[in-house]
Structure 1
Amino acid sequence: MTLPTRWNPFQTARFDPFRDFDDLVRRLGTQDLISREYEKTMEMRMDITEDDGQYRVAIDIPGVRKEDIEVSVDGNQVSVSAKVERESTKEDEKTICSERYQGKAYRSFLLPSEIDAAKAEAHYDGGVLSLALPKKAGNGSRKLSVN
């Protein structure tokens, strides 16, 4: 509960352009539109672990068919993309609320060492994409003699 305050006409007469602009944006609902648009994007959360011979990556991609997931390895860069499709509704049904994402999600990341793409494996089960990414033998660096 707020306490009653005495009105002071000189206190509200001051011009504050930043506060006025912020009020204008709130009234138009632009911030709500931006946050709602962000909520529609699908996040791919992941865990990466490493041992001596390989990296193991677990990426959460729920609601996707394994045929719609693409994984590519180029050196030490790994890219994952997934296409999410919504089931069609019946003709006599009317959608009241839909919070499901539809579209394409993409994630790319770099690892400290190069990956042996020929031995890399990917498995998708229960909404989790598991990647086994063996490190390339040798680090590809060498010492150069100075002549």
Structure 2
Amino acid sequence: MFELMPFGRRSNSLSRYFDEMEKNFFGDSKTSLCECRTDILDQGDHYLLKAELPGFRKEDVKVDLGDGVLTIRAEHSEQSSSGEGENYIRREMHYGAYERSFGTEGIDVGRIEAKYENGILELTLPKEAPAKQEVTRRIEIK
């Protein structure tokens, strides 16, 4: 029963050696930074930022704006539903956090909208209207 391991991790492979070396060097911490993938699409009048945040609930995700920086934070803590008496054979699910920041130059920050569904955060980032250029012309003297 104690041999319950994810596929591909039973052998003494090179990747397992490096995994163990990393654990020994950095420690087997209960806190980790989750890897998150982000796509940004140009939709003409706005950008669409999609951030993949699997396993997070909507309440775990925060989007903050300040000093020209948009920051996405996602965090969920280890919570046991049964309490202390659980008897784990192997436990890999634990506390995780994610944070990533983006510059907002050229974005109309007052009109940013966010939606979170099925582990995907979508931010609509409207582009600022281009500054009106001064019209130049020669005025005829009469």
Question: Does the pair score TM above 0.5?
Answer: yes
* Structure 2 match to 1:14: none
Measured at CA, do residues 141 and 78 of structure 1 come closer, stay the same or move farther in structure 2, by a change above 3 Å?
farther
1:74 and 1:117 in contact (8 A); partners too: no
1:135 aligns with 2:124: no
Q: Let me know the Cα RMSD of the aligned residues.
A: 3.0
* Structure 1 match to 2:102: 109
What's the CA shift for 1:138? Answer: 2.0
1:70 aligns with 2:62: yes
Measured at CA, do residues 41 and 105 of structure 1 come closer, stay the same or move farther in structure 2, by a change above 3 Å?
same
* Structure 2 match to 1:98: 91
Aligned residue for 2:62, secondary structure, equals strand
User: Which stretch shifts more, 118-127 or 102-111?
Assistant: 102-111
Paired-residue identity, %:
30
What's the CA shift for 1:108? Answer: 0.9
Match of 1:118 among 110, 114, 131: 110
What's the CA shift for 1:45? Answer: 1.0
1:41 and 1:105 in contact (8 A); partners too: yes
Aligned residues: 113
Provide the C-alpha distance between the structure 1 equivalents of 2:34 and 2:94, rounded to a whole number of angstroms.
Answer: 6
TM-score by length of 1: 0.62
Ranked by relative contact order (alpha carbons within 8 Å, sequence separation 6 or more), the top structure is 2
What's the CA shift for 1:100? Answer: 2.0
2:34 and 2:98 in contact (8 A); partners too: yes
Provide the C-alpha distance between the structure 2 equivalents of 1:69 and 1:104, rounded to a whole number of angstroms.
Answer: 10
Q: Structure 2: which 5+ runs fail to align?
A: 1-16, 135-142
Q: How does 1:19-58 map to 2 (within 5 A)?
A: 30-33=21-24, 34=26, 40-58=32-50
TM-score by length of 2: 0.64
Provide the C-alpha distance between the structure 2 equivalents of 1:114 and 1:140, rounded to a whole number of angstroms.
Answer: 14
* Structure 2 match to 1:88: 80
Provide the C-alpha distance between the structure 2 equivalents of 1:65 and 1:71, rounded to a whole number of angstroms.
Answer: 14
1:93-136 CA distances to partner (integer Å, 9 max, x unpaired)? 2122222241432111235x422122111000001101101011
1:79 aligns with 2:71: yes
Higher Cα Rg, which structure = 1
Provide the C-alpha distance between the structure 2 equivalents of 1:134 and 1:60, rounded to a whole number of angstroms.
Answer: 20
